[in-house]
Amino acid sequence: MRTVLIAAFLLTALPALAAGPVKPARLGLCAACHGETGMAQIPGAPNLAGQRLDYLRGALKQYRDGRRNAPLMKAAIGPVSDQDLDALAQWYSAQAPGQATP
Residue numbers at the binding site for ligand HEC (CB under 6 A): 26, 29-30, 32-34, 44-46, 48, 56, 59-60, 68, 70, 72-73, 76-77, 88
Given the complex with ligand HEC, which of 39 and 56 has the nearer CB atom? 56
Given the complex with ligand HEC, which of 14 and 28 has the nearer CB atom? 28
Minimum separation from the CB atom of position 83 to ligand HEC (A): 13
Q: Which residues contact 2 (CB under 8 A, 6 or more apart)?
A: none
- Cβ atoms 57, 86 nearer than 8 A: yes
Given the complex with ligand HEC, which of 15 and 79 has the nearer CB atom? 79
Q: Which residue is nearest to ligand HEC (CB)?
A: 30
Minimum separation from the CB atom of position 100 to ligand HEC (A): 14
Greatest C-alpha distance within the chain:
57
- Cβ atoms 60, 88 nearer than 8 A: yes
What is the rounded distance in angstroms from the CA atom of residue 86 to the CA atom of residue 84?
5
